Amino acid sequence: MTILRTKQAVKSALQILRTSQKTIGFVPTMGALHKGHLSLVENAKLSSEVVIVSIFVNPTQFNNKEDFENYPITIEEDLKLLEEKGVDFIFLPNLEEMYPAETLLKMDFGDLDKTLEGAFRPGHFSGVGVVVSKLLNIVKPDKSYFGQKDLQQVAIIKRLVVDLCFDVEIIVIPTIREQDGLAMSSRNVRLNPDERLTATILYKCLVFAKDELLDGGDWFEIREKVTKRFHDEPQARLEYFELVHTDTLEKLKEIKGQKKVSICTAAYIGEVRLIDNLSIV
């Protein structure tokens, strides 16, 4: 496994592989790796001949300074895990390498970034769009792998790739969960043991709402019950719980007549903000 720290190093390392027609698979991450990330890597290993993983905590996608400052960093462990998985290259740039100048670029994804995460994290998807564009331009992969856990990010990146004609296939990998259903996330390490137990409320409410919807329940009544459940849990604070079209993210009131529907949620558990989603149909 080779660690590449500069754009030039990535270019040199991948050039020869590209000319010999090897499929290059790319997994962008912000590090603090867990089994969710490793599942992206395993999938990349299965469907690409060369796998490159980037680790970069991108400042421009954090709308909250404290969240950025507290973002977990575990580079040594990350490198060990990636080596064990047989990853070929790690792209580990520093801030200057990714942002040689403070970026002036702002990205607007229309209706896709005004809802859900975008509504609560202003500027977040502009930052994601900018850094993913930079990464795709540097690595020029054939395939890039993203987790379904960040459902809105997936919808936005799929659109970014179309709008900017990036020649890359976006592959979406299902959410990996802890045994009790909590979606794996780097931020989970910031939960204390009590909060860790409380955090299962997100998945429990998603499953409850899915079952009720499939039983013909009314969405607004279901959401009312979920809101109450969060209200009764002193360590939890619900930000949103929405029924949406999986690709357009349009808010829905029912599942009748729909082919791709998901429930998306975000909530604070103590000081830690978590997101999750479940597809219904």
Ligand X SMILES: Nc1ncnc2c1ncn2[C@@H]1O[C@H](COP(=O)(O)OP(=O)(O)OP(=O)(O)O)[C@@H](O)[C@H]1O
In the complex, the residues that contact ligand PAF under the rule CB under 6 A are 28-30, 58, 61, 128, 131-132, 150, 153
- Identify what 132 binds: ligand X, ligand BAL, ligand PAF, none; CB under 5 to 8 Å per kind: ligand PAF
Q: Cβ 44 to ligand PAF, closest distance in Å? A: 14
Q: Cβ 203 to ligand BAL, closest distance in Å? A: 17
- Closest by CA to 235, choosing from 281, 277, 270, 192, is 270
- Identify what 131 binds: ligand BAL, ligand X, ligand PAF, none; CB under 5 to 8 Å per kind: ligand PAF
163 assigned to a ligand binding site: no
In the complex, the residues that contact ligand X under the rule CB under 6 A are 29-30, 36-37, 39-40, 146-147, 149-150, 173, 175-176, 183-187
- Closest by CA to 151, choosing from 130, 175, 181, is 175
Q: Mark whether 124 is an active-site residue.
A: no
34 assigned to a ligand binding site: yes
Paired strand residues for 25: 51, 143
- Closest by CA to 273, choosing from 112, 13, 66, is 66
148 assigned to a ligand binding site: yes
Please identify which residue in 150, 195, 242, 276 interacts with ligand BAL, judged by CB under 6 A: 150
Q: How far is CA 104 from CA 51, 59, 98, 149, 194, in A?
A: 31, 14, 13, 29, 42
Distance CA 10, CA 136 (A): 12
107 assigned to a ligand binding site: no
Largest alpha-carbon pair distance within the chain?
Answer: 60
Q: Cβ 150 to ligand BAL, closest distance in Å? A: 5
* Token pair of 215 as six digits: 């039983």
- Identify what 97 binds: ligand X, ligand PAF, ligand BAL, none; CB under 5 to 8 Å per kind: none
* Helix (H), strand (E) at residue 224: helix 219-231
What phi, psi does 171 have (nearest 5°)? -115, 130
Q: Is residue 265 helix, strand or coil?
A: strand
186 assigned to a ligand binding site: yes
What phi, psi does 191 have (nearest 5°)? -85, 135
In the complex with ligand BAL, which residue's Cβ is closer, 30 or 252?
A: 30
Between 47 and 86, how does the x/- string for binding to ligand BAL read (CB under 6 A)? --------------x-------------------------
Q: Which residues are catalytic?
A: 37
Contact residues: ligand BAL, CB under 6 A: 61, 150
